Amino acid sequence: MKINNIMSKWLATVPYMHSLLRITSAFLFIQSGTMKLYSFPMGMPEGVTADPFSQIWIGGVLEAFGGALILLGFYTRPIAFLLSGEMAVAYFQFHAQQNFWPIINGGIPAILYCFIWLYFSAAGAGAWSIDSFLQKRKTTS
């Protein structure tokens, strides 16, 4: 097989890989929220749930419900932008002050999610999404 054939086959999968990244990232992100809100699938490090309306609780709501919307690909761009900002705040407020290096301060997930959500706020949800379905319906009518 020639390299051009291989590349063209891979390029055809880009919209689906884009959606797969969104779905997988959102599924993992939801768990951060449910941990804070419901101690599921495990409790927070202190063994408690977040107090209602505390900053951690609000973060949990954003992560659980915003993550669910992104998983479905519904209002992906604005929700992803909001969650990107949440992760930037989480990094600088809770991680960066502990140590410069993210591997030491535990901030790698916050940085990765910040830029993953920033990417989706610019690129949209991808092929497998409610946003895509609604856009196709809108253009055909």
Q: What is the model's pLDDT at position 7?
A: 85
In this prediction, residues 104-108 reach a mean pLDDT of: 97
Show contacts of 41-45: CB within 8 Å, 24+ apart.
none
Q: What does pTM read for this prediction?
A: 0.90
pLDDT digits (tens, 9 = 90+) for 35-76: 999 989 888 877 778 899 999 999 999 999 999 999 999 999
d(CA 117, CA 7): 27
In this prediction, residues 117-137 reach a mean pLDDT of: 96
The dihedrals phi and psi of 47, each to the nearest 5 degrees, come to 85, 15
Say if residue 13's pLDDT is above 70. Answer: yes
Q: What is the model's pLDDT at position 45?
A: 78
Residue pointed to by tokens 């959102």: 26
Q: Apex CA 86: angle with CA 14 and CA 128, to 5°?
A: 25
Q: What is the model's pLDDT at position 1?
A: 60
